[in-house]
Amino acid sequence: MEYSAIALVCVVGLLVYNEISALKKVIQNQEKRINQLAKLTGHENLSSYWVSDELKEQVIQLKQDGKRVEAIKKVREQTQMDLVEAKQYVDNLDEVVSSGR
């Protein structure tokens, strides 16, 4: 009796985990679509990847102070970027700052 209850709990747990994973994928796809629509319609500030001018200035200052990791963390906290995207954003700020834009 005890083993069947444990097995039942394990099966239910796996089913719930599987359903949550599927829902996360759906949400990620919807976020990508919304971000694309925001960009196409000229409303980039509605995108989950949008970086405000204030945040951009903070990140640039952190980079200039040699705090690159903190700059990446700051971008990730304020946006929905993953680690790779945030790192690429921070790295690309070098080009923007050096070109004087």
**pLDDT per residue over 50-97, tens digit each?**
888 899 999 999 999 999 999 999 999 998 888 999 999 999 886 655
Residue 101 has pLDDT above 50, yes or no: no
pTM of the model: 0.60
Q: Would you state the pLDDT for residue 88?
A: 92
pLDDT over threshold 70, residue 1: yes
Domain boundaries, the chain: 2-45, 51-98
CA distances from 50 to 10, 23, 41, 79 (A): 41, 24, 14, 7
